[in-house]
């Protein structure tokens, strides 16, 4: 142990005046630095579309872990004990907010104070919309109001904010910034990934706009009020949702109201969702000249990972155009 002794002589320091401490200090320093360089942060994400964006930011570094797979609705989800343990080990949790992952706040309160969170609803740049009341909505533009995170009260925000590619860009930028701060060793990679993703999302937005051009005025009914952001971004004409609460089946009175609205509006299509039974859709469309199809806001059946978000958004546009477009002009 000659070298530390020399250093000790050359640079005496009050705290480590005892030369025998230097090897220990150097070893600890080395361990600290190498641990930081080798170990990327453990990131846990609530739902599949957000996981996809986070996975894109972390590509080449590590994979984030996903809590709710795309084939399950998060609205009535229960965490497994293994997932609670995983949350306790996390360095960063990325979630939308209590209106989507209602199962999370209770667990998050008990996590170590060193676990960081990104709650997407609270990001200042996020464009937020209000949930609509009653399921059979007013005409478009009548009461839609857009607001930013700092102005909302909890419970009054529609949580399906990822269904707008511009909000997805806000998510990517925020996640990349936070990961770069937590894990400086990989900051360059996070920033490179983020730039590439932001560009791809801009291209996706333009593609969706072109694709949906021509079906904006066609009225249709959705299963639950999940697509406000998509409708607002591309000017679509959804007239209402079958359920007010996706966890509950609509009663006979409500089904009769919906059938009246479908008849009066001339709705061309009724969309079910893979996370819920399609039997109600069949009852509502029975006897009408209305088509049925599937819209998937969560990514059921898609492989989780960076491509899921893009596939999910393209699938939504394809389902809408396929059902709302006139036969023969199904493309764009």
Gap between the Cα atoms of 54 and 28, Å rounded: 32
The piece of 123-131, 167-175, 193-201, 225-233 that touches Zn ion (CB under 5 A) is: 225-233
Tokens of 173: 């930028």
- Minimum CB distance to Zn ion smaller for 204 or for 226: 226
Alpha-helical (H) ranges within the chain are 2-10, 22-38, 48-58, 81-89, 105-109, 165-182, 187-212, 228-234, 252-265, 279-285, 308-324
Contact between 173 and 94 (Cβ < 8 Å): no
- Minimum CB distance to Zn ion smaller for 172 or for 226: 226
In the numeric block, the tokens 């739902």 are attached to 47
Q: Is 215 in the site for Zn ion (CB under 5 A)?
A: no
Contact mark string toward Zn ion, 109..138, x via CB under 5 A: ------------------------------
- Minimum CB distance to Zn ion smaller for 245 or for 260: 245
Residue 73 burial (CB < 10 Å; 0-12/13-18/19+)?
buried
- Minimum CB distance to Zn ion smaller for 99 or for 193: 99
Q: How far is the CB of 74 from Zn ion (least distance, A)?
A: 7
Which residues, 6 or more positions from 76, have their beta carbon under 8 angstroms from its beta carbon? Answer: 102, 246, 247
Q: Is 226 in the site for Zn ion (CB under 5 A)?
A: yes
Q: Measured at CB, which residue is nearest to Zn ion?
A: 226
Which residues, 6 or more positions from 123, have their beta carbon under 8 angstroms from its beta carbon? Answer: 149, 170, 171, 174
Q: How far is the CB of 223 from Zn ion (least distance, A)?
A: 9
The piece of 193-201, 203-211, 224-232, 235-243 that touches Zn ion (CB under 5 A) is: 224-232
Helix (H, G, I), strand (E, B) or coil at 289: coil
The piece of 85-93, 207-215, 220-228, 252-260 that touches Zn ion (CB under 5 A) is: 220-228
- Minimum CB distance to Zn ion smaller for 136 or for 226: 226
Q: How far is the CB of 73 from Zn ion (least distance, A)?
A: 7
Q: Report CA-CA distances (Å) from 329 to 213, 217, 237, 250, 316.
A: 11, 15, 18, 34, 17
Q: How far is the CB of 155 from Zn ion (least distance, A)?
A: 15
DSSP state of 128: E
- Minimum CB distance to Zn ion smaller for 226 or for 284: 226
Number of chain positions touching Zn ion (CB under 5 A): 1
Residue 116 φ then ψ, to 5°? -90, 160
- Minimum CB distance to Zn ion smaller for 161 or for 226: 226
Q: How far is the CB of 225 from Zn ion (least distance, A)?
A: 7
Q: How far is the CB of 224 from Zn ion (least distance, A)?
A: 5
Q: How far is the CB of 35 from Zn ion (least distance, A)?
A: 40
Residues of the shown chain interacting with Zn ion in the complex, contacts defined by CB under 5 A: 226
């Amino acid at each position: 142990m000659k070298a530390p002794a020399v250093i000790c002589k050359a640079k005496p320091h009050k705290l480590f005046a005892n030369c025998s401490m230097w090897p220990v200090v150097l070893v600890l320093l080395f361990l600290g630095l190498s641990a930081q360089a080798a170990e990327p942060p453990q990131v846990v994400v609530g739902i599949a579309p957000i996981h996809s964006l986070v996975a894109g930011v972390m590509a080449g570094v590590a994979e984030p872990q996903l809590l709710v797979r795309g084939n399950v609705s998060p609205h009535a989800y229960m965490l497994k004990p293994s997932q609670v343990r995983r949350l306790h080990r996390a360095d960063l949790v990325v979630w939308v907010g209590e209106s989507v992952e209602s199962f999370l706040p209770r667990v998050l309160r008990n996590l170590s104070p060193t676990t960081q969170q990104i709650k997407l609803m609270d990001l200042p740049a996020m464009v937020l919309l209000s949930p609509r009341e009653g399921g059979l909505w007013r005409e478009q533009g009548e009461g839609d109001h857009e607001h930013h995170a700092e102005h909302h009260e909890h419970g009054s925000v529609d949580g399906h904010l990822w269904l707008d590619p511009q909000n997805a860009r806000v998510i990517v930028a925020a996640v990349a910034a936070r990961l770069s701060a937590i894990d400086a060793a990989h900051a360059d990679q996070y920033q490179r990934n983020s730039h590439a993703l932001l560009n791809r999302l801009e291209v996706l937005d333009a593609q969706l706009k072109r694709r949906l051009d021509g079906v904006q005025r066609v009225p249709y009914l959705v299963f639950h009020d999940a697509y406000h952001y998509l409708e607002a971004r591309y000017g679509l004409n959804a007239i209402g949702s079958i359920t007010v609460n996706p966890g509950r089946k609509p009663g006979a009175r409500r089904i009769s109201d919906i059938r009246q609205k479908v008849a009066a509006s001339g709705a061309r299509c009724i969309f079910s969702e893979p996370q819920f039974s399609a039997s109600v859709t069949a009852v509502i469309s029975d006897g009408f000249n209305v088509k049925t199809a599937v819209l998937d806001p969560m990514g059921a059946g898609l492989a989780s990972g960076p491509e899921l978000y893009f596939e999910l958004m393209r699938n939504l546009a394809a389902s809408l155009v396929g059902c709302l477009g006139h036969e023969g002009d199904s493309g764009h």
